[in-house]
Amino acid sequence: AALATLHEALRTATLCLAPFTPFITERVWQDLFRTTDPGAPQSVHLASWPEVTYSEIDERLGTDMALVRRIVELGRAARASSGVRTRQPLGRALVSATGWSELSPQLRDQVCEELNISTVESLDDGGAGYVDTSVKANFRSLGQRFGKQTPAVAAAIGAEDPAALLAAMRATGTAGLNVAGVGELSITEEDVVITETPRAGWAVAADTGESIALDLTITDELRRAGLAREIVRAIQEARKTSGLDVTDRINVYWSSADRDVLETMGEHGNMISAEVLAPSMSQVDGNWPETAKTAVEVPETEIELRIGGV
Protein backbone atom coordinates (compact mmCIF):
# COMPACT_ATOMS: atom_id res chain seq x y z
CA ALA A 1 0.00 0.00 0.00
CA ALA A 2 2.82 2.41 0.84
CA LEU A 3 4.56 1.79 -2.48
CA ALA A 4 1.29 2.15 -4.39
CA THR A 5 0.63 5.47 -2.65
CA LEU A 6 4.15 6.69 -3.44
CA HIS A 7 3.76 5.61 -7.07
CA GLU A 8 0.48 7.51 -7.44
CA ALA A 9 1.92 10.61 -5.74
CA LEU A 10 4.93 10.60 -8.06
CA ARG A 11 2.71 10.16 -11.10
CA THR A 12 0.48 13.09 -10.14
CA ALA A 13 3.47 15.29 -9.28
CA THR A 14 5.15 14.42 -12.59
CA LEU A 15 2.05 15.37 -14.57
CA CYS A 16 1.66 18.66 -12.68
CA LEU A 17 5.32 19.61 -13.10
CA ALA A 18 5.55 18.67 -16.78
CA PRO A 19 4.77 22.18 -18.16
CA PHE A 20 7.47 23.73 -15.94
CA THR A 21 10.22 21.09 -16.08
CA PRO A 22 9.58 19.33 -19.41
CA PHE A 23 12.82 17.37 -19.71
CA ILE A 24 13.15 16.04 -16.17
CA THR A 25 9.51 14.96 -16.02
CA GLU A 26 9.82 13.28 -19.41
CA ARG A 27 12.77 11.26 -18.13
CA VAL A 28 10.83 10.25 -15.01
CA TRP A 29 7.82 9.33 -17.14
CA GLN A 30 9.83 7.10 -19.46
CA ASP A 31 11.89 5.41 -16.72
CA LEU A 32 9.23 4.98 -14.06
CA PHE A 33 5.79 4.91 -15.65
CA ARG A 34 6.22 3.68 -19.21
CA THR A 35 8.16 0.67 -17.96
CA THR A 36 5.43 -0.32 -15.50
CA ASP A 37 2.36 0.63 -17.55
CA PRO A 38 2.51 -0.35 -21.24
CA GLY A 39 -0.77 1.50 -21.80
CA ALA A 40 0.59 4.85 -20.62
CA PRO A 41 0.91 7.65 -23.21
CA GLN A 42 4.21 7.69 -25.08
CA SER A 43 5.15 11.02 -23.50
CA VAL A 44 4.21 12.83 -20.31
CA HIS A 45 3.27 15.76 -22.55
CA LEU A 46 0.64 13.62 -24.27
CA ALA A 47 -0.95 12.53 -20.98
CA SER A 48 -4.12 14.08 -19.60
CA TRP A 49 -3.95 16.61 -16.78
CA PRO A 50 -4.60 14.85 -13.43
CA GLU A 51 -8.07 15.18 -11.95
CA VAL A 52 -9.09 15.00 -8.31
CA THR A 53 -10.77 11.75 -7.28
CA TYR A 54 -12.81 12.99 -4.34
CA SER A 55 -13.84 9.48 -3.32
CA GLU A 56 -10.20 8.69 -2.50
CA ILE A 57 -9.77 11.65 -0.12
CA ASP A 58 -9.79 10.52 3.51
CA GLU A 59 -10.50 13.72 5.42
CA ARG A 60 -10.36 11.95 8.78
CA LEU A 61 -6.90 10.61 8.01
CA GLY A 62 -5.75 14.09 7.00
CA THR A 63 -7.05 15.56 10.25
CA ASP A 64 -5.44 12.80 12.30
CA MET A 65 -2.08 13.17 10.54
CA ALA A 66 -2.14 16.92 11.13
CA LEU A 67 -2.61 16.21 14.85
CA VAL A 68 0.24 13.68 14.80
CA ARG A 69 2.57 16.23 13.20
CA ARG A 70 1.69 18.87 15.79
CA ILE A 71 2.23 16.46 18.69
CA VAL A 72 5.58 15.34 17.25
CA GLU A 73 6.69 18.97 16.88
CA LEU A 74 5.74 19.64 20.50
CA GLY A 75 7.56 16.49 21.61
CA ARG A 76 10.73 17.51 19.79
CA ALA A 77 10.53 20.96 21.37
CA ALA A 78 10.17 19.37 24.81
CA ARG A 79 13.15 17.09 24.13
CA ALA A 80 15.26 20.04 22.98
CA SER A 81 14.44 22.01 26.13
CA SER A 82 15.34 19.05 28.34
CA GLY A 83 18.77 18.45 26.79
CA VAL A 84 18.10 14.70 26.42
CA ARG A 85 19.52 13.60 23.08
CA THR A 86 17.12 12.19 20.50
CA ARG A 87 18.87 8.82 20.35
CA GLN A 88 18.19 8.23 24.05
CA PRO A 89 14.87 6.35 24.33
CA LEU A 90 12.38 7.57 26.91
CA GLY A 91 9.79 5.49 28.72
CA ARG A 92 6.59 7.43 28.15
CA ALA A 93 4.92 10.63 27.05
CA LEU A 94 1.57 12.05 28.16
CA VAL A 95 -0.49 13.93 25.57
CA SER A 96 -3.44 16.29 25.96
CA ALA A 97 -5.09 17.23 22.67
CA THR A 98 -8.56 17.20 21.16
CA GLY A 99 -8.90 14.08 19.02
CA TRP A 100 -5.97 12.25 20.60
CA SER A 101 -8.13 9.54 22.19
CA GLU A 102 -9.64 8.74 18.77
CA LEU A 103 -6.30 8.22 17.03
CA SER A 104 -5.65 4.73 15.69
CA PRO A 105 -2.96 2.57 17.36
CA GLN A 106 -0.91 2.82 14.15
CA LEU A 107 -0.75 6.62 14.35
CA ARG A 108 0.08 6.51 18.07
CA ASP A 109 2.89 4.11 17.24
CA GLN A 110 4.10 6.63 14.67
CA VAL A 111 4.35 9.28 17.39
CA CYS A 112 6.34 6.85 19.55
CA GLU A 113 8.72 6.10 16.69
CA GLU A 114 9.25 9.76 15.78
CA LEU A 115 9.94 10.78 19.39
CA ASN A 116 11.83 7.58 20.36
CA ILE A 117 9.44 6.86 23.21
CA SER A 118 8.14 3.49 24.41
CA THR A 119 4.52 4.45 25.13
CA VAL A 120 2.23 7.46 24.72
CA GLU A 121 -0.73 7.90 27.06
CA SER A 122 -3.52 10.45 27.45
CA LEU A 123 -3.00 13.40 29.77
CA ASP A 124 -6.35 14.52 31.15
CA ASP A 125 -5.34 17.72 32.93
CA GLY A 126 -3.51 19.36 30.03
CA GLY A 127 -0.14 19.11 31.78
CA ALA A 128 -1.08 20.99 34.94
CA GLY A 129 0.37 18.22 37.10
CA TYR A 130 3.77 18.41 35.42
CA VAL A 131 4.42 22.13 35.09
CA ASP A 132 4.29 25.09 37.47
CA THR A 133 2.47 28.00 35.80
CA SER A 134 2.70 31.69 36.58
CA VAL A 135 0.44 34.26 34.88
CA LYS A 136 1.04 37.97 35.47
CA ALA A 137 -0.51 41.07 33.96
CA ASN A 138 1.08 42.57 30.84
CA PHE A 139 0.59 46.22 31.79
CA ARG A 140 1.52 47.54 28.35
CA SER A 141 -1.23 45.55 26.63
CA LEU A 142 -3.76 46.06 29.42
CA GLY A 143 -3.07 49.79 29.56
CA GLN A 144 -3.95 50.20 25.88
CA ARG A 145 -7.23 48.34 26.39
CA PHE A 146 -8.42 49.43 29.82
CA GLY A 147 -6.64 52.69 30.65
CA LYS A 148 -7.31 53.76 34.25
CA GLN A 149 -9.01 50.44 34.98
CA THR A 150 -5.76 48.53 34.35
CA PRO A 151 -4.81 48.10 38.06
CA ALA A 152 -8.18 46.51 38.81
CA VAL A 153 -7.86 44.16 35.83
CA ALA A 154 -4.30 43.26 36.86
CA ALA A 155 -5.47 42.47 40.38
CA ALA A 156 -8.21 40.21 39.01
CA ILE A 157 -5.66 38.36 36.87
CA GLY A 158 -3.45 37.85 39.92
CA ALA A 159 -6.36 36.42 41.89
CA GLU A 160 -7.18 33.76 39.27
CA ASP A 161 -5.81 30.22 39.22
CA PRO A 162 -2.90 30.49 36.71
CA ALA A 163 -3.30 26.97 35.30
CA ALA A 164 -7.06 27.36 34.78
CA LEU A 165 -6.62 30.81 33.23
CA LEU A 166 -3.99 29.54 30.81
CA ALA A 167 -6.01 26.44 29.92
CA ALA A 168 -9.02 28.60 29.04
CA MET A 169 -6.97 30.91 26.83
CA ARG A 170 -5.33 28.01 25.01
CA ALA A 171 -8.62 26.22 24.50
CA THR A 172 -10.70 29.15 23.20
CA GLY A 173 -8.25 32.00 22.68
CA THR A 174 -9.74 34.07 25.52
CA ALA A 175 -10.43 33.83 29.24
CA GLY A 176 -13.27 35.54 31.08
CA LEU A 177 -12.74 37.76 34.13
CA ASN A 178 -15.14 39.38 36.58
CA VAL A 179 -13.42 42.61 37.63
CA ALA A 180 -14.77 44.63 40.55
CA GLY A 181 -15.94 48.02 39.35
CA VAL A 182 -15.48 47.03 35.71
CA GLY A 183 -17.66 43.98 35.16
CA GLU A 184 -17.27 40.99 32.86
CA LEU A 185 -14.45 41.13 30.30
CA SER A 186 -12.18 38.80 28.37
CA ILE A 187 -8.40 38.70 28.02
CA THR A 188 -6.03 36.95 25.62
CA GLU A 189 -2.48 35.64 25.94
CA GLU A 190 -1.23 39.04 24.74
CA ASP A 191 -2.62 40.58 27.93
CA VAL A 192 -0.53 38.42 30.26
CA VAL A 193 3.06 37.30 30.82
CA ILE A 194 3.17 33.50 31.06
CA THR A 195 5.95 31.53 32.74
CA GLU A 196 5.85 27.73 32.60
CA THR A 197 8.46 25.74 34.52
CA PRO A 198 8.41 21.94 34.13
CA ARG A 199 8.62 20.05 37.40
CA ALA A 200 11.69 17.95 38.11
CA GLY A 201 11.87 14.87 35.91
CA TRP A 202 9.53 16.18 33.22
CA ALA A 203 9.78 18.22 30.04
CA VAL A 204 6.60 19.93 28.87
CA ALA A 205 5.66 21.78 25.69
CA ALA A 206 2.26 23.25 24.82
CA ASP A 207 0.61 25.29 22.09
CA THR A 208 -2.98 26.32 21.29
CA GLY A 209 -4.59 23.94 23.75
CA GLU A 210 -2.38 20.93 22.97
CA SER A 211 0.40 19.75 25.25
CA ILE A 212 2.86 16.92 25.75
CA ALA A 213 4.79 15.91 28.87
CA LEU A 214 7.89 13.72 28.54
CA ASP A 215 8.94 11.52 31.44
CA LEU A 216 12.71 12.08 31.64
CA THR A 217 13.34 9.17 34.01
CA ILE A 218 16.01 7.02 32.37
CA THR A 219 16.06 3.49 33.74
CA ASP A 220 18.97 1.10 33.28
CA GLU A 221 17.02 -0.61 30.51
CA LEU A 222 16.44 2.67 28.68
CA ARG A 223 20.08 3.69 29.15
CA ARG A 224 21.24 0.44 27.54
CA ALA A 225 18.79 0.97 24.67
CA GLY A 226 20.30 4.43 24.17
CA LEU A 227 23.80 2.95 24.17
CA ALA A 228 22.73 0.46 21.51
CA ARG A 229 21.57 3.32 19.29
CA GLU A 230 24.88 5.12 19.84
CA ILE A 231 26.71 1.98 18.73
CA VAL A 232 24.55 1.80 15.60
CA ARG A 233 25.29 5.46 14.83
CA ALA A 234 29.03 4.97 15.31
CA ILE A 235 29.12 1.90 13.06
CA GLN A 236 27.16 3.67 10.32
CA GLU A 237 29.54 6.65 10.49
CA ALA A 238 32.52 4.31 10.20
CA ARG A 239 30.85 2.59 7.25
CA LYS A 240 30.67 5.91 5.39
CA THR A 241 34.22 6.99 6.16
CA SER A 242 35.61 3.62 5.08
CA GLY A 243 33.96 3.88 1.66
CA LEU A 244 31.42 1.10 2.18
CA ASP A 245 28.04 1.52 0.52
CA VAL A 246 24.92 1.76 2.69
CA THR A 247 23.72 -1.55 1.26
CA ASP A 248 27.01 -3.42 1.79
CA ARG A 249 26.91 -6.14 4.40
CA ILE A 250 29.63 -6.03 7.03
CA ASN A 251 31.11 -8.08 9.83
CA VAL A 252 31.26 -6.46 13.26
CA TYR A 253 33.86 -7.35 15.88
CA TRP A 254 33.82 -6.03 19.41
CA SER A 255 35.61 -6.34 22.72
CA SER A 256 34.67 -5.03 26.16
CA ALA A 257 34.81 -5.92 29.83
CA ASP A 258 32.29 -3.26 30.83
CA ARG A 259 29.14 -4.69 32.39
CA ASP A 260 26.83 -2.15 30.72
CA VAL A 261 28.29 -2.90 27.31
CA LEU A 262 28.03 -6.65 27.81
CA GLU A 263 24.39 -6.38 28.86
CA THR A 264 23.65 -3.99 25.99
CA MET A 265 25.11 -6.34 23.40
CA GLY A 266 23.20 -9.23 24.94
CA GLU A 267 19.87 -7.39 24.93
CA HIS A 268 20.19 -5.42 21.69
CA GLY A 269 22.73 -7.34 19.63
CA ASN A 270 20.12 -8.56 17.15
CA MET A 271 18.77 -5.04 16.66
CA ILE A 272 22.26 -3.65 16.10
CA SER A 273 23.04 -6.43 13.63
CA ALA A 274 19.85 -5.79 11.66
CA GLU A 275 20.32 -2.01 11.59
CA VAL A 276 23.91 -2.12 10.28
CA LEU A 277 23.41 -5.12 7.95
CA ALA A 278 25.86 -7.31 9.83
CA PRO A 279 25.32 -11.07 9.35
CA SER A 280 28.02 -11.62 11.95
CA MET A 281 28.72 -9.80 15.23
CA SER A 282 31.65 -11.46 16.96
CA GLN A 283 33.05 -10.81 20.42
CA VAL A 284 36.85 -11.09 20.33
CA ASP A 285 39.41 -11.27 23.11
CA GLY A 286 42.25 -9.14 21.79
CA ASN A 287 42.97 -11.24 18.69
CA TRP A 288 41.44 -9.23 15.87
CA PRO A 289 40.95 -11.04 12.54
CA GLU A 290 42.51 -9.60 9.40
CA THR A 291 39.09 -8.58 8.08
CA ALA A 292 38.56 -6.24 11.06
CA LYS A 293 40.13 -3.29 9.26
CA THR A 294 38.14 -0.22 10.31
CA ALA A 295 38.11 0.97 13.92
CA VAL A 296 34.85 2.38 15.26
CA GLU A 297 34.85 5.05 17.97
CA VAL A 298 31.93 5.17 20.40
CA PRO A 299 32.39 8.24 22.63
CA GLU A 300 32.23 7.79 26.41
CA THR A 301 31.79 4.02 26.06
CA GLU A 302 34.22 1.31 27.14
CA ILE A 303 34.00 -0.77 23.99
CA GLU A 304 36.43 -1.46 21.17
CA LEU A 305 34.73 -1.96 17.82
CA ARG A 306 35.98 -2.81 14.37
CA ILE A 307 34.20 -3.56 11.12
CA GLY A 308 35.11 -5.17 7.83
CA GLY A 309 33.50 -6.19 4.58
CA VAL A 310 31.90 -9.59 4.17
Delimit the domains of the chain by residue range.
2-56, 59-127+214-218, 133-193, 221-309
Q: Which of 266, 192, 196 shows the shortest CA–CA distance to 227?
A: 266
Any idea what DSSP says for residue 30? I
What pLDDT shows up at residue 211? 85
Residue 50 to residue 41: CA distance in whole angstroms: 13
pLDDT digits 0-9 by tens, 284-310:
987 888 888 899 999 889 999 999 887
Chain mean position to CA 26: 36
pLDDT digits 0-9 by tens, 38-66:
899 999 999 999 999 898 889 999 999 99
Share of the chain above pLDDT 70, in %: 98
What pLDDT shows up at residue 150? 94
Q: Which of 64, 90, 60, 61 shows the shortest CA–CA distance to 78?
A: 90
Q: Is the pLDDT of residue 182 over 90?
A: no
What pLDDT shows up at residue 148? 92
- How much is the average pLDDT of 78-92? 93
What pLDDT shows up at residue 153? 93
Q: Are 132 and 103 in contact (CB under 8 A)?
A: no
Q: Is the pLDDT of residue 125 over 80?
A: no
Q: Flag whether the pTM goes above 0.95.
A: no
What pLDDT shows up at residue 126? 53
Architecture of domain 133-193: 2-Layer Sandwich (3.30)
Architecture of domain 221-309: 2-Layer Sandwich (3.30)
Q: If DSSP states are collapsed to H, E and C, what string results for 224-288? A: HHHHHHHHHHHHHHHHHHCCCCCCCCEEEEEECCCHHHHHHHHHHHHHHHHHCCCCEEEECCCCC
- How much is the average pLDDT of 124-129? 60
pLDDT digits 0-9 by tens, 146-174:
999 999 999 999 999 988 888 888 778 88
What pLDDT shows up at residue 33? 94
Confidence of residue 1 (pLDDT cuts 50, 70, 90): confident
